[in-house]
């Protein structure tokens, strides 16, 4: 989107809210709540702003290391295929989208259990995605850090990273969001998923049980499951 030069704050927020309603299908009330938390990058994509992200970190009482990164993924919406095949994720269900995000380059070499994925909600709320250890455990509002093999016919999940392992080459973040569920920002079961998310590095003392992973050798990454490969998030700030 483009915001004309000289726009007042009120005009700016109105334009952003209008985009959230028109393109992401957000209810107008929620769009007005979310709009003040967003900024634009040089390509006109909407992200959670650095200031808002800092507030979310405090809200969730996450302790971050000195120099730790805070990343925002561009807001997006994605259409679910008419026939979802949930075979690679038995608990996800046919109305749950599995979305894959590229890892920011700066996180290469970071431990998996030092990373948290945050979902921005309305009413000044935010929640953490629950980290699971295999794709078979993926369900709504959960995520996994996976390593993929690049094959002639596409991609296949090689394994889910274990707690203590490092982010390396061909690693992705997989997020599960149910159509019409709490983490789907349009709030409707309409075949459209809308999502603003943050990725933050935390001190290892903050890790919770279940934050690691297990191997999932040979798990197929079905074309209708890989709905969208979303570019890496932008670095908002380095903490400390």
Residue-wise pLDDT tens digits, 137-149: 888 999 999 888 8
**pLDDT over 70 at 43, yes or no:** yes
Q: How far apart (Å, rounded) are the C-alpha atoms in residues 213 and 49?
A: 30
The terminus-to-terminus CA distance of the chain in angstroms comes to 32
CB within 8 Å of 9: residues ≥ 6 apart: none
Collapsing DSSP to helix, strand or coil, 157 comes out as strand
Strands 142-151 and 130-131: parallel
Strands 229-230 and 96-102: parallel
pLDDT tens digits for 157-167?
788 898 889 99
Strand partners, 197: 73, 119
pLDDT at res. 17: 94
Strands 142-151 and 154-160: antiparallel
Domain ranges of the chain: 50-238
pLDDT tens digits for 45-87?
888 888 988 999 999 999 888 878 889 887 877 766 554 444 4
- Quickly state the pLDDT bin for 18 (edges 50, 70, 90): very high
Q: How far apart (Å, rounded) are the C-alpha atoms in residues 225 and 90?
A: 12
Q: How far apart (Å, rounded) are the C-alpha atoms in residues 30 and 209?
A: 32
């Amino acid at each position: 989107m483009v915001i004309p030069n000289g726009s007042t704050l009120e005009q700016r927020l109105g334009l952003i809210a209008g985009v959230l309603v028109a393109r992401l299908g957000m209810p107008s009330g929620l769009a007005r709540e979310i709009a003040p938390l967003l900024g634009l990058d040089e390509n006109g994509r909407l992200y959670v702003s650095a200031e808002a992200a800092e507030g979310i970190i405090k809200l969730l009482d996450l302790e971050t290391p000195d120099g730790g990164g805070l990343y925002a993924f561009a807001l997006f919406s994605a259409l679910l295929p008419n026939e979802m095949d949930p075979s690679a994720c038995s608990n996800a269900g046919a109305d749950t989208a599995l979305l894959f995000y590229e890892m920011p380059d700066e996180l290469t070499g970071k431990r998996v259990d030092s990373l948290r994925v945050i979902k921005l909600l309305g009413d000044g709320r935010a929640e953490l995605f629950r980290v699971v250890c295999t794709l078979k455990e993926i369900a709504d509002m959960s995520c996994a850090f996976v390593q993929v093999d690049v094959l002639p016919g596409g991609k296949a999940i090689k394994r889910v990273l274990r707690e203590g392992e490092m982010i390396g080459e061909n690693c992705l973040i997989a997020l599960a969001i149910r159509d019409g569920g709490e983490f789907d920002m349009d709030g409707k079961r309409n075949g459209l998923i809308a999502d603003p998310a943050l990725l933050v590095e935390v001190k290892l003392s903050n890790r919770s049980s279940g934050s690691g992973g297990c191997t999932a050798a040979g798990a197929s990454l079905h074309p209708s499951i890989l709905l969208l490969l979303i570019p890496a998030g932008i670095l908002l700030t380095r903490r400390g």
